[in-house]
A and B are shown apart, each in its own frame.
Chain A
């Protein structure tokens, strides 16, 4: 079936390094993608989104890249900090229904 998935379930990085979290999607009809951050015991928090008519979008310390050719989405976090430790989910939306399909998540661990 069509799904959103992640390559790496756990990513460990050194504080100050850049982090890259990847996501593969299989539905070429998806037109909107979101990255969420979920800290332990909390609900998912919006980080950044991107529409399918864009390749790149930047926020504060975060960048999302969309490669529609290979159906790949990535989240780059610059100068990773201990507060970035969390589980990161990508989600895709198909069509006008606003329904999101979530990936399984990647746990980011930041080493001091």
Chain B
């Protein structure tokens, strides 16, 4: 079984809709992250959480929100989706050493 899972794996939605992407991990890590990847580009950090009571904005948090429901669960919401949020979204967890483990990704298309 995968250590970091994401649901859904693919989603097509319309402009203005609210979307939630979910991430679960069985690695027992306290630290979780959400990244966005645009075609041909690297990963940009949206939000991160070092424990259940700790939420921090990353470099591109505008238009997104997160919820850390439990140590193992970290969800990303787009309150009102827009077409330029079409991208691949990755969840990751990390040890204190810094090594991050990534989920399989969610491909989101906003029409």
Contacts and interface: CB of A to CB of B under 8 A. Distances in A.
Point out which of B42, B45, B48, B94 has the most chain A C-beta atoms below 10 A from its C-beta. Answer: B42
Interface string A82-104: 00000001000100001110111
Interface residues of A, number: 19
Given A43-B90, A44-B90, A99 B102 contact: no
B43 A44 contact: yes
A100 B100 contact: yes
Interface string B92-111: 00101111111111000000
Contacts of B104: 42-43
A40 to B, nearest CB: 11
A45 B102 contact: yes
Nearest to B95: A98
B41 interface: yes
Interface in A37-91: 41-46, 49, 89
Interface of A: 32, 34, 36, 41-46, 49, 89, 93, 98-100, 102-105
